[in-house]
Amino acid sequence: MNNRRVLIVDDEMRLRSTLKLEFELNDWLVTEAESARRAEELIRSNDYDLVVTDNRMPGGSGVDLIMATRESRKDLPMILMSAFSDLSWEEVLDHGADTFLVKPFPMKSIIETANTLTTPLEELLATEIKAVPDKKLQIEFESVIKSGIQGRLRFGRRGFFVGVDRDFPMEGEEIHFQFNFRQGELKEFAGIGRVEWVRSSANSASGTLLPAGIGVSLVSLFPDSLKPFLTLHGRTSLRASVPKA
């Protein structure tokens, strides 16, 4: 038996019922909520392994729920669903969702995503690297702290933003990254990542100047980078899965 617990949040009873059946067929224990407010109450009093939430709901959105949850539960995996295109990958991951599913989607895909997100981060990032992508991004920084202050490199719970101004990879492409730090405890951060979004030029559409760069989710890390990263990860309280800057 799986015995993992999932909270499904959607104001549409039909979709909740469909998702409930699919998760139960895969040995998940399912709780339902019809609103973000009810979901917040349940999350405060229960220890769920995963939350799957719609975005547009009366009385509060899925994004509202995710941002509120991240105040106290940074490592609770959360999947955001939406039938609308009013949110970008960049926004979704920065708000704290771990991934984004556009309705309609195959039921098989949400179970696969759920299984991946509930795999311990250490186990997921320790996956053996059998092939290194041709595309390599190698950058030297002064330190993790200074690179963050300068907006050149910022870590999230499951990925990072790095500023680049040329030779942009494609969205969805896997890259080999290697970041070296002249100062600090973390000397090298290297592994395989998947490019989730590309900002090819600086913009201030959100009211804040955002530099050109890419958002990358972690696929796996080389052994020498894994332990130092997990130590750093454990010391910080990060809302974003992949920060937008």
Average pLDDT over every residue of 24-44: 96
pLDDT, one tens digit per residue, over 164-205 is 988 889 999 999 999 999 998 888 999 999 999 999 888 776
pLDDT grade for 206, boundaries at 50, 70 and 90: low
| Whether pLDDT at 1 is above 60 | no
| Whether pLDDT at 87 is above 90 | no
pLDDT score at 205: 61
The domains located in the chain, with CATH, are 5-118 (3.40.50.2300), 125-235 (2.40.10.220)
- Tell which phi-psi region holds residue 207, choosing left (phi > 0), alpha (psi between -120 and 50) or beta: left
Average pLDDT over every residue of 20-46: 96
Average pLDDT over every residue of 107-132: 92
pLDDT score at 55: 94
164 closest CA partner among 232, 79, 62, 245: 245
Coil, strand or helix: which one is 158? coil
